[in-house]
Amino acid sequence: MQVSLKTDGIIVGEELKTVAGALDRSERCLITCHVKPDGDALGSMLGLALALMDQDKKVTLFSEDTVPETLRFLPGAHHISQELPARLHGGTTLVVLDCNEPQRLGRQARKMITQASTVIILDHHLFKGDFCLMESGCTRPCFSLIRPDIFATGAIVFQILKELQWPVSEEIAMNLYTAIVTDTGSFRHSNTTAHALQTAGELVSLGARPYLVADNLYQSYPLRRLKLLQMALSTLELTPDGKIGLLQATPEMFQSSGARERDTDDFVGYARCVDTVEVAVFLKEVSSGEVAVSLRSKSYFNVAEVARHFGGGGHFHAAGFRKKMGLQEVRKTLLDHLTESFSNMAEKAHD
């Protein structure tokens, strides 16, 4: 069941009651999120999981990738496992957070979806199609609450908890506050609405600690990250018109600095900081022949469309994709595409 969308960022009526009711009826839940989880994915997972546990539900948390070092402070993070049982227990509800594409769940996606009795998707990314039908042969009941107009999946979870009138502990508040902080860029991104600030304020009043969150997210970096950042910044280049800024990190840089892929979170933001730049690009080749690309825009350019063109996805102002190609090949192909897109936009504006 795909619920309708609203535009005010607040979920009301049957759409909220339907999904909240499905969660309330679930006595056993498997909670998961997309690969390479970020603060919104993990904060949403843990906030919901702790609330379900407080209601004496049996909860398993699964992520294909480990929790990043900067997010291990989140209450309940130790509950997240990288292993699944051989077969899910009968009557298990699969709850997918911050993702509405099966392939983004990783290698265990088909197993989780087909063995679950019910599937619930809570997300704020652009909707790609019926989640369960993407896995052929899956006929499980599927409830989706997908709201691209909402600033973070953590905010969707918070509204569900309020609908159910379940208590929100300090630990739950910390997780959901972290989800909102990370997906609004510490309240700097264009999705920072009055509702976002109001929700954050509610969570602080419930026990979330802004200083502790900020300290762990932004003031506790390992030295290897800063060494890699130093090298990456030396590659900063702009197109002649200054509208596109590019940074990159090569396998040699990772080896020299000792950094890992997760250490590059938000490197793309440094290219976006340049005053003339509308689209920022960060290309990282952690291992030879596979490149991950992060895209950010400031105002009018939809980077999600670019990411989808290359097989990825995301939001209007923040998106990405991965390619099994060499870094320079990806760079040239992407730059050609972006240049053509800007040219087409200029022609339309002129007409």
CA atoms within 13 A on the CB side of 85: 10
Question: Domains plus CATH for the chain?
Answer: 14-217 (3.90.1640.10), 223-350 (3.10.310.30)
pLDDT tens-digit map of 140-168: 788 989 998 899 999 999 999 999 999 99
pLDDT tens-digit map of 300-310: 999 999 999 99
Q: How many residues does the chain have?
A: 351
Mean confidence (pLDDT) of the chain: 91
Cα gap 84→62, rounded to integer Å: 7
pLDDT tens-digit map of 27-86: 999 999 999 999 999 999 999 999 999 999 999 999 999 999 999 999 999 999 999 988
Mean pLDDT, residues 21-30 taken together: 96
Given a contact cutoff of 8 angstroms between Cβ atoms, the answer to whether 95 and 32 are in contact is yes
Given a contact cutoff of 8 angstroms between Cβ atoms, the answer to whether 262 and 303 are in contact is no
